[in-house]
Amino acid sequence: MPHLVKPVYESLPAAYGALGAALLWASYHWRGDWWSTLSAALGFIAVVAALVLWMHRRDYRATSADYLRRGRPVVDPRDEQRDSQR
């Protein structure tokens, strides 16, 4: 699977949020037609997607050491050997 360029990848939550806000604004500004309901729903979905992406990335960056350590023992045996030699 191809990867996105980093600036594009990093700007996705902002782009989703801006698109969602624009759709919500448009649905409020031009009410009364069927597309107003559709744009409100799509705007809400885009804003939620932006928040989910932003929070997921923030969580991953805050706990990336835990993700990198998965599958490894919590206590390194070398640390135990060094402690017992002291």
What are 3-49's pLDDT values in tens digits? 878 888 889 999 999 999 999 999 998 887 888 999 999 999 999 99
Query: Does residue 28 form part of some domain?
Result: yes
Distance CA(6)–CA(58), nearest Å, equals: 16
Look at the chain and report how many structural domains it folds into. Answer: 1
Q: Which of 11, 16, 10, 15 is nearest to 61 (CA)?
A: 10
Query: Does residue 86 form part of some domain?
Result: no
State residue 61's pLDDT score. 79
Query: Does residue 31 form part of some domain?
Result: yes
pTM comes to 0.68
Q: How far is CA 64 from CA 8, 16, 67, 69, in A?
A: 21, 24, 5, 9
Residue 32 is part of which domain span?
A: 13-70
Half-sphere exposure (CA, 13 Å, Cβ side) for 21?
8
Distance CA(81)–CA(66), nearest Å, equals: 23
Query: Does residue 85 form part of some domain?
Result: no
State residue 86's pLDDT score. 58
Contact assessment for residue 43 and residue 22, using Cβ atoms and an 8 Å cutoff: yes
Higher pLDDT, 67 or 7: 7
Q: Is the pLDDT of residue 84 over 70?
A: no
